[in-house]
A and B are shown apart, each in its own frame.
Chain A
């Protein structure tokens, strides 16, 4: 997997979490996975289509989601299923949106589908060209997992290479 595709998502997750939580984050357990994704808590999945295609999953357990929501809001919020779902999806929205901004400004064009809750215990298995990069952001509110499986669209990639010469 190409790091230039992944780096904006790492930078964006780091910036959004650090700003929202008012505390620095660190990355632990950076791994490449070809096995099927196994959900750890409440997960939001976002698909990209266009010159870059694939999916990103954000995953955090319920207690972490409530703590994250409370830190973002600057007030203690009561735990509820809706709050947990909203938090995971909005976190995904903000992180993906910031990364998409960077990639778009670099000349990549693609569409982002709105986040959907990933309810299956296990996701589809990665293929050789969409191997997933899995990382854990260690934050003051708990662990936030990000699973990124992206690739260049084959035809667009060939066109881009041809233009480049």
Chain B
């Protein structure tokens, strides 16, 4: 997989820690490989919205990559509950269902961004940089594909 300039936390220069939430193991593994190619660290994974909330509480990740359509609790509802308790939570929705209604609903409930599946690594990389930059995080060099 293509390598990218590592995205680090600006406050301590440590790798960004991710929580990956998707009911598909296959999708989680693909996302894990991508974030590792961004220099990130997978802090944890969850397969539904309920587990996502408990894993967020337990791990306090820097960023959550959240699918929408999942069993037990969908991603938008889980994102809303996480952001209600942790207003600084950085949640990026990652879903194949990318119609306007869904995107608006996710953003209104506190998600920071939306990436449509199939995920292109260079798109996710730019979104991660953008979302993390809002709170002060740096990439070691500008641009993807370094």
Contacts and interface: CB of A to CB of B under 8 A. Distances in A.
Nearest to B68: A97
B98 interface: yes
Nearest to A84: B26
A97 B97 contact: yes
Interface in B97-125: 97-101, 116-118, 120
Given A97-B96, A101-B97, A74 B1 contact: yes
Contact of A94 (B29, B100, B118, B120): B118
Interface size class of B (residues with CB under 8 A): 20 to 34
B97 to A, nearest CB: 4
Contacts of B97: 97, 100-101, 112
Contacts of A101: 96-99, 116
Nearest to B26: A86
B29 A73 contact: yes
A97 B68 CA distance: 11
Interface string B56-76: 000000000000010100000
A72 B120 CA distance: 11
Contacts of A16: 118
